[in-house]
Amino acid sequence: EVQLVQSGAEVKKPGESLKISCKGSGYRFTTYWIGWVRQMPGKGLEWMGIINPGNFDTRYSPSFQGQVTISVDKSITTAYLQWSSLKASDTAMYYCAMGTRRPYDAFDMWGQGTKVTVSS
Amino acid sequence: DIQMTQSPSTLSASVGDRVTITCRASQSVNSWLAWYQQKPGKAPKLLIYKASTLESGVPSRFSGSESGTEFTLTISSLQPDDFATYYCQHYNNYLGTFGQGTKVEIK
């Protein structure tokens, strides 16, 4: 069974760093690009960026370029979303997702979400 | 950066109604357009991809269409399980943008 399983909820202070994870299983990990989607409390979905786990090619939305880092560790079939210095405005639910018909496609597979709370 | 303008933001409807949601892209997305349904506290669920292809397992009352850069999601006869928020998303050229979302409420 193809699955994306995300790491657990995080509570952090402004200025702290954070790396959340998304582990893929049940398929060849390098086949499909993995994306990250933000959903702030009570708000809509925002496409943050995607990464090719095979060659590490990464594309960011202009809104998130320079604000986060997307990476992968192929050896443990895991994708990451990372912040070097969190802000209160990073408080949100973060989903990883991928499409399984083509290398990059509509997201038919989603992780369960990771809730990030940033508060002093 | 392609912008996706979705309307309406909220829609009040009754069970059995025909519902239409529209999404306009700021430039061509070459039919790489998806529709998702999201319920509170849940991850989004893919309904339609490539503008008009129904995802496996999705009821046939859902359909998608396109005309140039304008895309439409239609629910032919609204069912109680369909009250949710719907999003369009383009996924052209290894990028993506979601529309602002449409909340379908009970009238």
For the residues B50-71, what does the mean pLDDT come to? 98
Provide mean pLDDT across the span B12-24.
97
CA distance B60 to B43: 21
The pLDDT tens digits for B71-89 are: 999 999 999 999 999 999 9
pLDDT band at B102 (very low <50, low <70, confident <90, very high): very high
* Residue B86 contacts A where some CB pair is shorter than 8 Å: no
Q: What average pLDDT does the segment B24-31 reach?
A: 97
Among A46, A104, A111, beta carbon nearest to B98: A46
**Which DSSP letter does residue A55 get?**
T
Q: Which of A44, A47, A108 sits opposite B96 (nearest CB)?
A: A47
Confidence of residue A78 (pLDDT cuts 50, 70, 90): very high
Which is nearest to A51 in space by CA: A5, A98, A88? A98
Please name the member of A37, A47, A108 whose beta carbon is closest to the beta carbon of B55: A108
Distance from CA of A53 to the nearest CA of B (A): 14
> Residue B53's pLDDT is what?
98
User: Which whole number is the average pLDDT over A13-25?
Assistant: 98
Confidence of residue B31 (pLDDT cuts 50, 70, 90): very high
Partners of B99 on chain A (C-beta within 8 Å) are: 44
Q: Mean pLDDT, chain B, as a whole number?
A: 97
Whole-number mean pLDDT of chain A? 97
Distance from the B2 Cα atom to the nearest Cα atom in chain A, whole angstroms: 10
Cβ–Cβ < 8 Å for B70, B15? no
Give, as one character, the DSSP assignment of residue A103.
Answer: S
Q: Are strands B45-49 and B33-38 parallel, antiparallel or unpaired?
A: antiparallel
Determine, for residues A106 and B38 on separate chains, whether the beta-carbon distance falls below 8 Å.
Answer: no
Query: Strands across the sheet with A78-83, in order?
Result: A3-6, A18-25, A78-83, A69-73
* B91 close contact with A: CB closer than 8 A: yes
Condensed to tens digits (0 to 9), the pLDDT of residues A26-75 reads 999 999 999 999 999 999 999 999 999 999 999 999 999 999 999 999 99
pLDDT reported for residue A67: 98
CA atoms of B36 and B55, how far apart (whole Å): 10
